[in-house]
Amino acid sequence: MTKGVARKGFDLDLAFGEMAEGKLRDILEATGSKVEVKCDDGFRDYGNVFIEYEYRGQPSGIATTEAQWWAIEFCDDCYLVISTERLKRWFKYYRDQGAKYHKEVAGDQGRSKGVAIPLIAWGGDPGLMGHLKREDLDAFGTTRRK
């Protein structure tokens, strides 16, 4: 059991994430595949999907997954499903691009490390993603907002 103080709203985030995981997992596991399901609310603000590789100094996320598929829930019942193999290639590409994408400290009070993959790379149209507009994004899909 982890000790310490959870950030405000962690319990709600956890419950929300577990609910999202259950819906899609049931569908994909019916085919015999393992799926890792993530929900990333931050894409609306930043135009990126954060892929974690370390949490509290321990390998996690993409570094430890045994799933053949990853599914990212962008909004209620709207998923992007990608093979873990392809996601790992994207992860390595954006990690190697440097500090613009490789986030040493992020999420959960800075306890997570990962890579921010631009929404454009996922084939997403930012115009469909709430308040983000195409003119808010640079050629790589990252936000220009201050």
Q: Supply the mean pLDDT for the chain.
A: 72
- The alpha helices in the chain, defined as continuous H runs, are 10-29, 43-46, 84-95
The per-residue pLDDT for range 17-54, each reduced to its tens digit, is 676 667 667 766 777 888 888 877 777 677 788 899 99
Nearest to 91 by CA among 99, 81, 100, 101: 101
Residue 84's pLDDT band (cuts 50, 70, 90): very high
pTM score, two decimals? Answer: 0.63
Percentage with pLDDT > 70 across the chain? 58
